Amino acid sequence: MAIKLPVYFDNHATTPVDPRVVEAMVPYFTEKFGNAASRNHEFGWKAEEAVENARGQIAKLINATPKEIVFTSGATESTNLAIKGVAEMYREKGNHIITQVTEHKATLDTCKRLEKYGYEVTYLPVEKDGRINLDDLRRAITPKTILISIMYANNEIGVVQPIAEIGKIAKEKGVFFHVDAVQAVGKIPVDVQKDGIDLMSISGHKIYGPKGVGALYVRRKNPRVQLAAIIDGGGHERGMRSGTLNVPGIVGLGKACELCQQEMAAESEKMSRLRERLKESIMSRLDETFINGSMEHRLPNNINISFAYVEGESLLMGINDVAVSSGSACTSATLEPSYVLKALGVGEDLAHTSIRFGLGRFNTQEEVDYVADRVVETVSRLRELSPLYEMAKEGVDISKMKWVAASDSH
């Protein structure tokens, strides 16, 4: 079977909208265009009904109740609302927040802003496998701690944190627990009851739904979480998030959750099979390749590999008909290699050589085979070009060499 180029293996960045989701959304742009807050006519009722239906679809996927779902513009907003909302609401109780170093920037930068306002934030380190140490967490909790914010699964390395254990600790200590579950929801079972989650950020476009829509799960009992709003206005979403609801987007997010619920078991099995095939096909043919992060606690659709002696951006350039991401500095605006890999203790030299492969619903085995061949061929070609590979083959220990950097600003 011929494959269509370019191949998309960057499903942690975003996913295509499932055609079934598009189909569900379309009427809400045109004939059912009403404002869900219009209480006195048919147009408003139709829109409201659709929104409530979506709330139910999302709640069902994560074992919540519909009233616990607050719609937002996306997971970045959800995370801002969760962290800032708790921080403001519970300021008198305490000013300490615990998070960890490989979180998404939505969490890290929100915490950094709160530090400016007098909050104290503990950034837990991670172990070599990318997971936090639960004893570190226990030790970090103080009487002033109001919130723990830990992601379900990491967006670069797919490593899944011990969420249920963290939830238990949070409950014992009477601290709220926020989870950025953007990469996990719809991919692996997420259950806010079993996992002891109080607040959870969800994104539409990572689960074959549209961009520009997300949700925040806010627990209503045992314990009830209250939030100070960060967007003021008409008091939509129980006062937690003002602004006219994005009805088509919300319908899409709901439908996307419903599809994930129906297909997760089979899809997750397919993802792991394809991922294993990709990993084997690449790693059996190339020496000096390293997997970043735990294989055991990992999303089924993720693999992150460092290809020693080959700089990531040059590898991306060589496989230009394949869409993947690199932890190389050259692909980032800051010229710093991935902070996630650094936190794992991956040396900067290897961080520059890392590639993230993110598989998705619409990928095929033929694509996996094509990508593996392209990667193997390009890495081999670039290693022929690499002075480091040549030196390594001559037995030179590169880590012990004295390097003369071109400048002071790398």
Partner 1 sequence: MAYSDKVVDHYNNPRNVGSLDKKDPNVGTGLVGAPECGDVMKLQMKVNPDTRVIEEAKFKTFGCGSAIASSSLATEWVKGKTVEEALAIKNTDIVRELSLPPVKIHCSVLAEDAIKAALGDWKKKQGEAEAKPAESATSAH
Which residues of this protein are in contact with partner 1, per CB under 8 A? 309-311, 313-314, 317-318, 328-331, 333, 335, 337, 347-349, 352, 384-390, 398, 403-410
Q: Is the previous residue joined to 387 through a cis bond, with omega within 30 degrees of 0?
A: no
- Supply the DSSP string of 222-264, one letter for each residue: SSPP----SS-SS-TGGGTS-S---HHHHHHHHHHHHHHHHHH
Q: How many CA atoms lie within 13 A of 310 on its CB side?
A: 29
- From the list 111, 257, 260, 330, the catalytic residue is 330
Toward partner 1, which CB reaches closer, 164 or 401?
Answer: 401
Q: How far is the CB of 393 from partner 1 (least distance, A)?
A: 11
d(C-alpha 344, C-alpha 114), whole Å: 25
214: left (phi over 0), alpha (psi -120 to 50) or beta: beta
Q: Which residues contact 293 (CB under 8 A, 6 or more apart)?
A: 129, 130, 154, 157, 158, 159, 304, 344
Structure-token pair, residue 245: 């609801």
Toward partner 1, which CB reaches closer, 265 or 385?
Answer: 385
Q: How far is the CB of 328 from partner 1 (least distance, A)?
A: 6
The burial class, CB within 10 Å (0-12 / 13-18 / 19+), for 228 is: middle
Q: How far is the CB of 318 from partner 1 (least distance, A)?
A: 8
Structure-token pair, residue 21: 């989701």
Toward partner 1, which CB reaches closer, 265 or 396?
Answer: 396
> In 3-state terms, what secondary structure has residue 200?
strand
Q: How far is the CB of 398 from partner 1 (least distance, A)?
A: 6
d(C-alpha 249, C-alpha 204), whole Å: 8
Q: How far is the CB of 10 from partner 1 (least distance, A)?
A: 14
Structure-token pair, residue 72: 């937002």
Quote the crossing angle between the two packed helices 105-116 and 75-89, to the nearest 10°: 30
Structure-token pair, residue 27: 């009427």
Could you give the C-alpha distances from 23 to 29, 54, 73, 346, in angstroms and in order? 11, 14, 21, 44
d(C-alpha 286, C-alpha 305), whole Å: 11
Toward partner 1, which CB reaches closer, 80 or 306?
Answer: 306
Q: How far is the CB of 314 from partner 1 (least distance, A)?
A: 5
> Is the Cβ–Cβ distance between 344 and 293 less than 8 Å?
yes
- Cα Rg for the chain, rounded, in angstroms? 23
Toward partner 1, which CB reaches closer, 266 or 333?
Answer: 333
Toward partner 1, which CB reaches closer, 81 or 346?
Answer: 346
Toward partner 1, which CB reaches closer, 176 or 389?
Answer: 389
Q: How far is the CB of 388 from partner 1 (least distance, A)?
A: 5
* Annotation marks residue 260 as catalytic: no
Furthest C-alpha separation in the chain? 80
Catalytic amino acids?
330
